[in-house]
Amino acid sequence: MFELKNISKKVGDGYHIRDVSLRLEKGSLNVLLGPTLSGKTTLMRLMAGLDKPTEGDIIFNGESVLGVPVQKRNIAMVYQQFINYPAMTVYENIASPMRISGLSKSDIDKKVRSAAELMKLSEFLDRTPLNLSGGQQQRTALARALVKGAELVLLDEPLANLDYKLREELRVELPRLFAETGAVLVYATTEPHEALLLGGNTATLSEGRITQFGKSISVHNNPVDLSTAQIFSDPPMNMLNVKKSNGEIEFEGEKASLPQELVSLPDGNYKVGVRPHHIQLVKPSEDTLTVTAKIATTEITGSESFIHIEKSDYQWVALTHGVHRVDIGETVPVYLNPSDFFFFDGHDKLVASPARLQGENN
Amino acid sequence: MSNTSLMSGSNTPTKLNFKWVTPTLYIVFLLLPIYWLVNMSFKTNQEILSTFTLFPDNPTLHNYAVILTDPSWYNGYINSMIYVALNTVITLSVALPAAYAFSRYRFLGDKHLFFWLLTNRMAPPAVFALPFFQLYSSFGLIDTHIAVALAHCLFSVPLAVWILEGFMSGIPKEIDETAYIDGYSFPKFFVKIFMPLASSGIGVTAFFCFMFSWVELLLARTLTVTDAKPITATMTRTVSASGLDWGVLAAAGVLTIIPGALVIYFVRNYIAKGFALGRV
């Protein structure tokens, strides 16, 4: 088990990491999710022992590892940039950690070949990394991390610089490969859907703090606060300020009645978050909040359309399936179902999430 | 064919082609002195002084024979090579760790120290001739190869640190960290992982050390008498009773150019980066 206890990292006057506590189980997959500059890499460097925390303690298998040099910790790390030893062949690159730990030649050979097999590198073992494609270079780095049999494996956006297809493939394989080694796997990413696809646990990071840690799907469905919800939504969650009184909510003069489960919320002002695919352009059968808004731009990806709409000071993105033909500048009604709403109070804490999800995960 | 059109160029302006002019002038200006030197080295003194010839009338290897058989000549080459090699080795072994520290660590006053390295290069070597002579005299180092090598280090070490720092800063820090994570100790990482990556920089740095030390005359002459006398000093002392030995001197010049030309050939692809102190 790997544990961070109230870790802080101060650089100059500012905190890069502030009071982070995490308990990561053996054989678990843990995603660090956060935008750039949220402190993912800093946190990983602290976990690896490349940097020392200003405050706090790091416990590994019941012992503090703060004073243990990187070389003596049994860890592996893969960076977003393809980091290999350019002067060595792929074979030597993969073999390098085992050469240092003094394994026998035949053991090394066996392990290198099986890792190369898994990473589809068998035919490139005699080349040097710079003569490989980006994907092959990164697979070399991953193979090196894999053969080491490290107890803590840190992957810092390992797939970010790869092309789409390769990313999909590796994303499926990676957790499986490392799970077999029983290591604590930490995977940093900026992409919410990657966290969901990988499964496991997710810790959302915002400005050097962990805002929430738990099963990826439950963090996604029940974010504790607004910033977690924002981090775990791409495109960003659409925000609107509503006023609740009795069984109704009011937004910019439009009213809608609340579903039964939400009527008990105290009256007052709320910030409401709506996921992009919950903004509907076609009137649904249920009772909805209907807002007339102006179409700003549209982005069509082929199977989906992102429609950017404006309503007074609000800017929203609606994600719709199929290709919708809408004219820019046109004013259209959009339909928001209150049962899809995430309600946040004055302190940005979640007070209600879509009711049907409440029932599933809690 | 193109010649005929060029000859009649003034009459048929459409056919004019002056592309050859620039490269020709360029080569003539650059190679004229070297051509003259090589030409002279194959002539007899008689021919050099009496007639004007673009090619030796009676090509002779006598001048080269003199140099390769007379110890006072060939010892000059040996002495030069010894202290140049010493200088290169000392400079690299000092500059490699220094450059690594400057490229990887932040410490108090690092930028100032880095800049101050260059201050020694701002003074002409002549400034240091006197203190070096006095210092080495007191230690009994005058007329030894190590004396010249050490004196040259004053100029080559700062330059080497600057060049190597540039090359090393181009190597991602993550490679260092990956090596530590893999379990490499610092010395092992430096020799097995880092030096191969910085090899082109090390080559260029060695070249600059060689070049500076090989052509430097003033300090080398001041600090030596006979045992470690460099070839460049020998060449300036060839006025004998019979006058100046032009042919031998020219042959010595040709032989002095060759090592430099060889070294340049090996680092030719990196040399521009070296002149930019590794910062490209």
pLDDT of amino acid B1: 43
pLDDT of amino acid A362: 42
Q: In which region does residue A120 sit, left (phi positive, over 0), alpha (psi from -120 to 50) or beta (all else)? A: left
Residues A309 and A204 in one domain: no
CB A200 within 8 A of CB A174: no
pLDDT of amino acid B231: 85
Question: Out of A160-169, B10-19, B69-78, which region has the weakest mean confidence (pLDDT)?
Answer: B10-19
Q: Is residue A76 part of a domain?
A: yes
Residues A51-63 have a mean pLDDT of 91
Total count of domains within chain A? 2
Chain A positions with Cβ closer than 8 Å to B:
48, 50, 69-71, 75-77, 79, 81, 83-87, 96-97, 100-101, 141, 144, 148
Residues A27 and A144 in one domain: yes
Q: Evaluate if residue A90 carries a pLDDT over 70.
A: yes
Q: Is residue A233 part of a domain?
A: no
What is the spatial distance between Cα A168 and Cα A198, in angstroms, rounded to a whole number? 11
What is the spatial distance between Cα B171 and Cα B188, in angstroms, rounded to a whole number? 17
pLDDT of amino acid A356: 55
Where b means 16+ CB within 10 Å and e means fewer, A310-325 reads ebeeeebbbbbeeeee
Q: Evaluate if residue A175 carries a pLDDT over 50.
A: yes
Nearest CA in chain B to A78: B178
Instruction: Give A258's pLDDT tier (boundaries 50, 70, 90).
Output: confident
Tell me which chain A residues have a C-beta less than 8 angstroms from the C-beta of B188. Answer: 100
B186 vs A: CB within 8 A = no
Q: What is the CA radius of gyration of chain A?
A: 24
Instruction: Give B18's pLDDT tier (boundaries 50, 70, 90).
Output: confident
DSSP summary character for residue A158: T
CA A45 remoteness from chain centre: 18
Nearest CA in chain A to B177: A50
| Distance from the A18 Cα atom to the nearest Cα atom in chain B, whole angstroms | 24
Q: Is residue A231 part of a domain?
A: no
What is the spatial distance between Cα B147 and Cα A362, in angstroms, rounded to a whole number? 80
Q: Is residue A292 part of a domain?
A: yes
pLDDT of amino acid B86: 95
Q: Evaluate if residue A289 carries a pLDDT over 70.
A: yes
Residues A50 and A109 in one domain: yes
B74 vs A: CB within 8 A = no
In order of their start, the domains of chain B are 2-41 (no CATH), 70-275 (1.10.3720.10)
Instruction: Give B12's pLDDT tier (boundaries 50, 70, 90).
Output: low
What are the phi and psi torsion angles at B158 (to 5°)?
A: -60, -45
pLDDT of amino acid A338: 87
Question: Out of A14-23, A149-158, B124-133, B184-193, which region has the weakest mean confidence (pLDDT)?
Answer: B124-133
Other C-beta atoms lying within 10 Å of the C-beta of residue B113: 14
| Distance from the B203 Cα atom to the nearest Cα atom in chain A, whole angstroms | 16
Percentage, residues of chain A above pLDDT 90: 42
Handedness of CA A123, A94, A190, B173 (dihedral sign): negative
pLDDT tens digit string along A303-321? 888 899 998 888 999 988 8
Type of residue found at B36: W
Instruction: Give B2's pLDDT tier (boundaries 50, 70, 90).
Output: very low
Tell me which chain A residues have a C-beta less than 8 angstroms from the C-beta of B175. Answer: 83, 85
Beta strands per DSSP E along A99-167: 152-156
Beta strands per DSSP E along A264-330: 268-274, 279-280, 289-300, 304-311, 314-321
Q: Strand A350-352 and strand A342-344: pairing? A: antiparallel
pLDDT of amino acid B265: 86
- Note whether A83 contacts B183, CB cutoff 8 Å: no
Nearest CA in chain B to A97: B182
CB B62 within 8 A of CB B247: yes
Q: Evaluate if residue B8 carries a pLDDT over 50.
A: no
Instruction: Name residues whose C-beta falls within 8 Å of residue B94's C-beta, 6 or more positions apart in sequence.
Output: B153, B157, B160
Residues B136-151 have a mean pLDDT of 91
pLDDT of amino acid B199: 87
Tell me which chain A residues have a C-beta less than 8 angstroms from the C-beta of B179. Answer: 85, 96
pLDDT tens digit string along B216-230? 888 888 888 888 888
| Distance from the A271 Cα atom to the nearest Cα atom in chain B, whole angstroms | 43
B193 vs A: CB within 8 A = yes
Q: Evaluate if residue A276 carries a pLDDT over 60.
A: yes
Mean pLDDT, chain A, rounded, equals 88
**Domain CATH for A122:** 3.40.50.300
Q: Is residue A242 part of a domain?
A: yes
Q: Is residue A117 part of a domain?
A: yes
DSSP string, A17-70: EEEEEEEE-TT-EEEEE--TTSSHHHHHHHHHTSS--SEEEEEETTEE-TTS-G
End residue of a domain, out of A166, A197, A225:
A225
pLDDT of amino acid B242: 63
Residues A322 and A220 in one domain: no
Instruction: Give B241's pLDDT tier (boundaries 50, 70, 90).
Output: low
Residues A155 and A254 in one domain: no
Nearest CA in chain B to A147: B182
Residues A111 and A139 in one domain: yes
Tell me which chain B residues have a C-beta less than 8 angstroms from the C-beta of A92. Answer: none
pLDDT of amino acid B266: 82
Residues A288 and A188 in one domain: no
pLDDT of amino acid A144: 92
Residues A137 and A285 in one domain: no
Residues A196 and A315 in one domain: no
Report in angstroms the alpha-carbon separations of A195 from A42, A172, A214, A262, A305: 19, 12, 12, 29, 23
Type of residue found at A190: T
Residues A85 and A211 in one domain: yes
pLDDT of amino acid A34: 92
Residues A185 and A266 in one domain: no
Q: Evaluate if residue B3 carries a pLDDT over 70.
A: no
**Domain CATH for A323:** 2.40.50.140
Instruction: Name residues whose C-beta falls within 8 Å of residue B22's C-beta, 6 or more positions apart in sequence.
Output: none
Q: Is residue A38 part of a domain?
A: yes
B179 vs A: CB within 8 A = yes
Residues A255 and A118 in one domain: no
Question: Which residue is listed with tokens 């700003």?
Answer: A296
What is the spatial distance between Cα B82 and Cα A104, in angstroms, rounded to a whole number? 44
pLDDT of amino acid A112: 93
Does the interface predicted TM-score (ipTM) exceed 0.90?
no
Percentage, residues of chain A above pLDDT 70: 98
Question: Out of A201-210, B195-204, B241-250, which region has the weakest mean confidence (pLDDT)?
Answer: B241-250
Residues B84-102 have a mean pLDDT of 94
Type of residue found at B197: L
B178 vs A: CB within 8 A = yes
Q: Evaluate if residue A361 carries a pLDDT over 50.
A: no
Where b means 16+ CB within 10 Å and e means fewer, B154-167 reads ebbbbbbbbbbbbb
| Distance from the A206 Cα atom to the nearest Cα atom in chain B, whole angstroms | 24
CB B103 within 8 A of CB B168: yes
End residue of a domain, out of A165, A193, A225:
A225
End residue of a domain, out of A225, A258, A282:
A225
Instruction: Name residues whose C-beta falls within 8 Å of residue B135's C-beta, 6 or more positions apart in sequence.
Output: none
Q: Is residue A196 part of a domain?
A: yes
Range of the domain at A323: 238-360
Q: Evaluate if residue A194 carries a pLDDT over 50.
A: yes
Mean pLDDT, chain B, rounded, equals 85
